[in-house]
């Protein structure tokens, strides 16, 4: 059904003896209502002068200045994806391999630091009993604060060492260490026995200039659609998808849409979820999702990564949403199904996508971090060079032989979701984006005090790194 304004514009042209190509009609539908009459009259006037009585897509695009830019680059590549590497090692030996891999990978990362040359194994440090400064590294196994001191215990394959932090500034760094996170410690043996921690060195990321696209191509960052939930904002999301086909100059240059997990609300994810669902099965939720996403123009790469509400497996790393639930996603040319976490390249800009499940564990135990500032948690992950360090809390972690949650390569953009709150910041040249949600506040979220920022799309110019947000929420 054409809306009234488009019908009026169409009739105006038909009455002047014009034919209108169906593709041109699509463009007219995207023009702002108040501009329609002006646009059609001008195009008719120009074409009458040329004595050409067919109005096609090209005429309108030229007039509106939105002609598809053939020089605009849109190169998509998947740089890393856990899906094919998932082996599902099992049990205790699996976890031993996982932690050995974590230690080896992070030790390699920290080896760029000058102090790393002085690293000794924990057993050899214990054996020497020297009062000189020494360096050890390992995974944090305990951390406690009491009576003005902070204690930290680390473990490497040779042994376990507990140290005490007296320095106030260093206590602040130590207090936010996460269990199972990798650290390097500068220590010395105290005269009374035990060890004093004199420095805490994190793997961290180096300061660097980011890779940029050669052309003004745009990418949109989304997550947490929760399709199937009663609280999914269908109308707003449809408006967003329609905007991608509109004459808006940024929409015309958008070539990437990244979805960072929780596409669907899932089934049996939380108690009594069935009462909050519009679509009661995974299959119906995914088919609704496909209907909505397949309206995204075909010249846009759509990257689809799972979250904790999507099917596949719950434990990290998660494989891409399996084909057996809905093969359409896998058979659509411009759709790219990736696991969680994945690194993709958009015109050379490297984007690390991670749903963000571990944020729950980290917020719970870390002073100063909260759900309303998710980028601060993301910065913590970048410093730790690990996306989900804490084992045995809320976030399930699979016993893989390789720890794929280590941040091996430093991205240009770190895209996370899960928290349902839009947030942005820059850390050492890395643009951190938390992409919010398309689900209204749920009763659960309101009971735990989470105020989401739904219905906003974050849009990045991949050349200038200028960030825009577009609000589709109806207030």
CA–CA gap between residue 472 and residue 457 (Å, rounded)? 8
Among 450, 465, 467, 470, binds ligand D5M (CB under 6 A): 450
CA distances from 464 to 31, 213, 411, 431 (A): 27, 8, 16, 12
Binding partner at 448 among ligand D5M, Fe ion, Zn ion, none, C-beta below 5 to 8 Å by kind? ligand D5M
Kindly state whether residue 360 participates in binding ligand D5M, applying the rule CB under 6 A: yes
Least distance between Zn ion and beta carbon 416 (Å): 10
Using alpha carbons, select from 357, 391, 318 the residue that is nearest to residue 96.
391
Shortest distance, CB of residue 260 to ligand D5M, whole angstroms? 11
Q: Least distance to Fe ion from the beta carbon of 344, Å?
A: 20
Window contacting ligand D5M (CB under 6 A); options: 159-167, 237-245, 314-322, 417-425? 417-425
One residue of 59, 81, 156, 262 binding Zn ion per CB under 5 A: 262
- The smaller minimum CB distance to ligand D5M, of residues 351 and 419, is found at 419
Q: For residues 216-235, which are near Fe ion according to CB under 5 A?
A: 224
Q: Which stretch binds ligand D5M (CB under 6 A): 23-31, 36-44, 320-328, 414-422?
A: 414-422
Binding mask 269-308 for ligand D5M (x = CB under 6 A): ---------------------------------------x
Answer for the pair 153, 197: CB distance below 8 angstroms, yes or no. no
CB within 8 Å of 336: residues ≥ 6 apart? 76, 78, 301, 302, 303, 304, 344
Residues 410-469 that bind Zn ion (CB under 5 A): 418
Question: Residue from 251, 405, 419, 460 that binds ligand D5M (CB under 6 A)?
Answer: 419
Phi, psi of 193 (to 5 degrees): 90, 160
- Non-local CB neighbours of 13 within 8 Å, separated by 6+ positions: 20, 40, 43, 44, 55
Name the residue nearer to Fe ion (CB basis): 166 or 270.
270
The residue count for binding ligand D5M (CB under 6 A) is: 12
Q: Does residue 308 interact with Zn ion by CB under 5 A?
A: yes
Spatial distance between the Cα atoms of 52 and 75, rounded to a whole number of angstroms: 37
Work out which of 371, 414, 427, 438 binds ligand D5M, going by CB under 6 A. 371
Interacting stretch for ligand D5M, rule CB under 6 A, among 177-185, 311-319, 346-354, 418-426?
418-426
Partner whose footprint covers residue 406, from Zn ion, ligand D5M, Fe ion, none (CB < 5 to 8 Å by kind): none
Selected from 70, 448, 449, 474, the binder of ligand D5M by CB under 6 A is: 448
Q: Which is nearer to Zn ion, 308 or 461 (CB)?
A: 308
Q: Considering beta carbons, is residue 210 or 437 the nearer one to ligand D5M? A: 437
Instruction: Name the residue nearer to Zn ion (CB basis): 83 or 358.
Output: 358
Q: Does 418 bind ligand D5M (CB under 6 A)?
A: yes
Strand, helix or coil for residue 424? strand
Q: Residue-wise over 390-427: b if at least 16 C-beta within 10 A, else e?
A: bbebebebbbbbbbbbbbeebbbbbbbbbbbbbbbbeb
Strand intervals (E) in 228-357: 254-260, 301-305, 335-337, 342-346, 349-354
The contacts of residue 161 (CB under 8 Å, 6+ apart) are 122, 125, 126, 136, 138, 153, 154, 155, 185, 187, 195
Cis amide leading into 341 (omega within 30): yes
Choice between 92 and 448, CB closer to ligand D5M:
448
DSSP character at residue 84: G
With CB under 5 A as the rule, give the number of residues binding Zn ion.
Answer: 4
> Is 435 near ligand D5M (CB under 6 A)?
no
The CB-of-418 to ligand D5M minimum distance in angstroms stands at 5
Q: Tell me the backbone φ, ψ of residue 145, rounded to 5 degrees.
A: -125, 125
Q: Which is nearer to Zn ion, 166 or 444 (CB)?
A: 444
Angstrom distance (rounded) from CA 468 to CA 475: 20
For Fe ion, the binding residue among 59, 236, 262, 361 (CB under 5 A) is: 262
Pairing assessment for the beta strands 76-80 and 342-346 based on DSSP bridges: antiparallel
Q: How far is the CB of 451 from Fe ion (least distance, A)?
A: 14
260 has which bridge partners? 305
Which residue stretches of 219-331 are H helix? Answer: 234-244, 249-252, 282-293, 327-331
Residue with tokens 């099965």: 281
CA distances from 461 to 246, 301, 437, 458 (A): 18, 15, 21, 10
Q: At its nearest, how many Å lie between ligand D5M and the CB of residue 224?
A: 5
- CA atoms of 318 and 396, how far apart (whole Å): 10
Binding footprint of Fe ion, residue count (CB under 5 A): 2
When binding is defined by CB under 6 A, the residue of 184, 290, 420, 436 that contacts ligand D5M is 420
Residue 447 in the binding site for ligand D5M (CB under 6 A) = no
User: Any contact of residue 262 with ligand D5M (CB under 6 A)?
Assistant: yes
Dihedral of alpha carbons 109, 112, 115, 118, sign: positive
Rule CB under 5 A: which residues touch Zn ion? 262, 307-308, 418
User: Which residues lie near ligand D5M (CB under 6 A)?
Assistant: 224, 262, 308-309, 360, 371, 418-420, 445, 448, 450
* Binding stretches for Fe ion (CB under 5 A): 224, 262
């Amino acid at each position: 059904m054409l809306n009234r304004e488009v019908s009026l514009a169409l009739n105006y042209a038909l009455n002047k003896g014009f034919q209108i190509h169906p593709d041109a009609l699509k463009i007219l539908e995207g023009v702002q209502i108040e501009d329609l009459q002006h646009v059609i009259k001008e195009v008719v006037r120009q074409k009458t002068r040329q004595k050409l009585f067919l109005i096609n897509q090209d005429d309108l695009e030229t007039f509106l200045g939105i002609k598809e830019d053939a020089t605009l680059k849109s190169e998509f590549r998947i740089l890393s994806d856990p899906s094919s590497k998932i082996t599902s090692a099992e049990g205790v030996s699996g976890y031993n391999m996982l932690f050995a891999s974590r230690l080896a990978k992070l030790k390699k990362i920290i080896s760029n630091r000058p102090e790393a040359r002085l690293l000794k194994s924990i057993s050899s440090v214990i054996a020497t009993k020297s009062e000189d400064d020494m360096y050890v590294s390992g995974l944090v196994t305990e951390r406690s604060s009491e009576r003005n001191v902070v204690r930290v215990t680390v473990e490497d394959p040779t042994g376990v060492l507990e140290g005490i932090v007296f320095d106030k500034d260093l206590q602040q760094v130590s207090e936010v260490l996460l269990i199972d996170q990798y650290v390097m410690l500068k220590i010395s043996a105290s005269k009374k026995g035990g060890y004093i921690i004199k420095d805490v060195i994190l793997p961290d990321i180096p300061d660097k200039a980011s890779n940029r696209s050669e052309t003004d191509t745009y990418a949109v960052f989304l997550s947490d659609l929760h399709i199937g939930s009663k609280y999914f904002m269908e109308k707003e999301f449809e408006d967003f998808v329609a905007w991608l086909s509109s004459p808006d100059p940024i929409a015309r240059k958008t070539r990437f849409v990244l979805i960072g997990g929780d596409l669907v609300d899932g089934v049996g994810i939380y108690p009594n979820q069935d009462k909050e669902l519009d679509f009661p099965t995974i299959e119906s939720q995914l088919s609704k999702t496909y209907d909505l996403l397949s309206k995204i123009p075909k010249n846009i790469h759509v990257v689809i990564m799972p979250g904790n509400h999507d099917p596949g497996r719950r434990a990290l790393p998660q494989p891409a949403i399996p084909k057996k639930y809905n093969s359409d996603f896998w058979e659509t040319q411009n759709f790219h199904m990736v696991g969680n976490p994945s690194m993709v390249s958009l015109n050379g800009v490297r984007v690390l996508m991670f749903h963000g499940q571990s944020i729950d564990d980290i917020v719970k135990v870390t002073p100063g971090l909260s759900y309303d500032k998710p980028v601060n948690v993301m910065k913590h992950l970048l410093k730790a060079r690990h996306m989900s360090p804490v084992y045995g809390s809320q976030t399930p972690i699979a016993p893989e032989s390789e720890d794929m949650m280590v941040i091996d390569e430093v991205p240009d953009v770190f895209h996370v979701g899960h928290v349902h709150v839009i947030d942005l910041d820059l850390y050492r040249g890395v643009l951190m984006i938390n992409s919010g949600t398309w689900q209204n506040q749920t009763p659960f979220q309101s009971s735990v005090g989470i105020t989401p920022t739904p219905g906003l799309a974050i849009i990045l110019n991949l050349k200038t790194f200028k960030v825009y947000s577009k609000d589709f929420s109806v207030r």
